[in-house]
Chain A
């Protein structure tokens, strides 16, 4: 082969390889980007006057006087909207039958849209569902609703694939009492809702109100913490003891080989199978609780992370220099004392790294807790209820909110907020692990 071809192939290969690495980095950004950007929207957003009213009513937060004054102003600004609606309602029976038939459904849609945008009309009885008591609390969502009022959405299938078509409703109502409503909504939307930059850090700890329409993700965060900490409390002692045994006591032989390959196999068991096992063993056989509970979930998760804890602890113990052990032995320490006072302290950073990474894994796992611990709707549970109560958890509820919730599209910000929170928790734990490792590396070098 020509030198030139060989060199060309070499270059091509190098760039393909670098491209693959670039692709990987790109994937990471592509996945995390939207989740972080939109997830931040749960904590920082343009909140409307409805948000402030809701916070005052439901959480007793905010300056009552100021919110009330603002509310009175807003009601003043909204008066023309409601006047147009009621004027048209009076006008409607007098219209010709054909026109009435045409306008009635459109009017109904507009009126419902206004109720969704601004909340129930003044003088109406208070709706039973909390979600209907207020208008749009977030400005971005309010703008979507505004568009839904002003335009009718239909699908055009003439080109094969369906295409969304928006037709303005305004021409339909030309000449009626409702006509001024459309320019009013377009022009004065800010006056009607008063969007303002709002920080809502307590999204992390607040309870949710009316199936996550309002409020935060406190119960889920708490549940995830219980499950992750509980799993580690069970897995860490077991894992470290097993690691010590494997590294310091075990004589190589068929028994040890077998136990080792058992641990390896455990690491490969699919997570959903752990869930099945948790259901069949911890709940239906051992009856650790009458139904799903945090305890059953933590036990299941503990099994799941056990191989990781064992392996990382083993590696850390194996990395302790032989001289440490020999030094301790030479000073007359027995094997127990050597392990407890010399080997474990020296291996501690490595063991911690494994623990922290496993905790991140336990916090993020969903499949093992579906049958053992997780419920879709739940309160914050106290530490005493761990053995008897199921709990909501970030991972499970993220699934639940974006697939099974009755209004998936209305609560996108909660879903993204939950996803971002979960990712931040898990990545923060991983970052801790990376920092510990870097420190150990520096210490070994120094």
Chain B
């Protein structure tokens, strides 16, 4: 029996294997940490370059002043209007996308037969896969002229001065947030389980009653995190708002007038970095990092909220 000698390891071999295993393990752990901790590096470097701005110009003017004149002497960096622009566009987009998104998720999980669902899944994936710059291009070349003309058909000969405005960006952002909302809500609805539905049907409820009064409440936390993810997608999107929102740093008058151009945080970063002196680090350069930091903090908060909802739901389910 020649092979049997190899099956029994000497103490030295055992030690060697153990050391090798440990080495390999720590190598894996190191690589994993680098991958995972890169998000902290992002936070650190964005904050490092945002810090000079807050140190020199203070915090209050940045958040509460609407005077955005980075090219003036002295420059003014009041970003309130830009924050409002981001908020307005994001919330409108999500408000437009949530009702059809949740309805479509319900339809896909409970109403349509399996074969149709197999066809629709790729449709949702395609909507999600189309690059944002292509959506922006569509907004600029197809939707904007259409919007501009549509004023004529409305009663009273409504005048829309420009097709690139908050509404255009919101509609497109809504379409972009739709696949996220649909697929995450659908997963949540599916996870609600068969027993729940069958119990409801057995009590004589119609399908609509089952879905609205039984399944949806059971899946509400999943739907909520779908909405949060939709908000994050719309908030962080750059190209569409840069191309379609008009980029005017102003709060619309009245504030809900979506037909006026607005400017968002992401578009300001993308658009102004070319003018801001990248290497010497002017105030204009640092204020863009301050905006990046704000975006980062908002996305962290959304993430925390999402995780909190998920853990709470898990606890509730465990508690019966």
Contacts and interface: CB of A to CB of B under 8 A. Distances in A.
A440 B273 CA distance: 45
Interface string A240-271: 01101110010000000001111111101111
B191 interface: no
B239 interface: yes
Nearest to A17: B107
Interface stretch (B75-83, B138-146, B192-200): B138-146
Contacts of B124: 24
Contacts of B130: 31-32, 364, 423, 426-427
Given A285-B45, A306-B38, A367-B266, A403 B103 contact: no
B152 A161 contact: yes
A315 to B, nearest CB: 13
Contact of A398 (B111, B134, B152, B266): B134
B217 to A, nearest CB: 16
Interface in B49-86: 49
Contacts, number: 270
User: Which of the four size classes fits the interface of chain A?
Assistant: 35 or more
B296 to A, nearest CB: 5
Given A269-B236, A366-B133, A367-B239, A306 B49 contact: no
Interface string A396-436: 10110011000000001001100100110011001000100
Interface of A: 6-7, 9-10, 12-14, 16-21, 23-25, 27-28, 31-32, 34-35, 159-161, 238-239, 241-242, 244-246, 249, 259-266, 268-277, 279-281, 284-285, 303, 306, 310, 332, 334-336, 357, 360-361, 363-367, 370-371, 395-396, 398-399, 402-403, 412, 415-416, 419, 422-423, 426-427, 430, 434
5 A-B pairs closest in CB distance:
A270-B236, A364-B131, A13-B208, A17-B107, A20-B103
30 contacts: A10-B209, A14-B208, A17-B103, A21-B112, A27-B175, A262-B40, A263-B36, A264-B303, A265-B300, A268-B232, A269-B39, A269-B299, A270-B237, A271-B132, A272-B238, A273-B292, A276-B49, A276-B289, A277-B42, A280-B45, A281-B41, A281-B42, A334-B17, A334-B21, A366-B133, A366-B239, A370-B273, A399-B239, A402-B140, A419-B137
Interface of B: 7, 17, 21, 24-25, 28-29, 31-42, 45-46, 48-49, 99-101, 103-104, 106-108, 111-112, 120, 122-127, 129-138, 140-142, 151-152, 157, 159, 175, 178, 182, 206-209, 211-212, 229, 232, 235-239, 242-243, 266, 269-270, 273, 278-279, 288-289, 292, 295-296, 299-300, 302-303, 307
